[in-house]
Amino acid sequence: MADDANPTFAIQRMYLKGASLEQPNAPAILLEQETPSVDIQVGVAQQNLAPAIYEVVVSATVHAKVNDKTLFLVECEHAGIFEIAGFDDEQLRGALTVGCPQIVYPYLRSQVADLTQRAGFAPVHLSEISFQAMAEQAQADGAVEAS
């Protein structure tokens, strides 16, 4: 049971957990005039580090291709460490799958835009995401797999 008298939600730290940029077909592919196709994948992971201390990681993979050749591949993870106490199980799940990712995501978006721009391309601006919808889909997928 949650301790309703003293619920706690605090950001302890935000940090870039990892980032990589690859341009395996440079410089030749940089001369291509065609518009690249861009595939973007976003994920969320969390882990309990200590009692009431959680790490939430939001990751993005951006893969741009021209004629099935990679123009660039960006992989980036931004994380936050949160103190969360006094929440019941449902509230904790919501904080870890929706609330915390919403706090971390703008930092990830900035990192991805910066990496792609520093690589010599127009910055890739990740779209806004409904982490609520992502959490509901993940829960539905888990319910189907558990059946």
Closest Cα partner for 84 from 59, 47, 57? Answer: 47
Question: What is the pTM assigned to this prediction?
Answer: 0.87
Query: Left (φ > 0), alpha (ψ -120 to 50) or beta: where does 40 sit?
Result: beta
Angstrom distance (rounded) from CA 108 to CA 100: 13
CA pair distance 34, 116, nearest whole angstrom: 18
Looking at 23-121, which runs of residues are DSSP E strands?
37-50, 53-66, 69-85
**Domains (range + CATH), the chain:** 8-18+39-62+72-146 (3.10.420.10)
Per-residue pLDDT tens, the chain, 147 aa: give them: 444 568 999 999 999 999 999 999 989 888 888 899 999 999 999 999 999 999 999 999 999 999 899 999 999 999 999 999 999 999 999 999 999 999 999 999 999 999 999 998 989 999 999 999 988 888 787 754 443
Structure tokens at 41: 């994948």
Q: What is the pLDDT of residue 5?
A: 64
Classified as helix, coil or strand, 133 is: helix
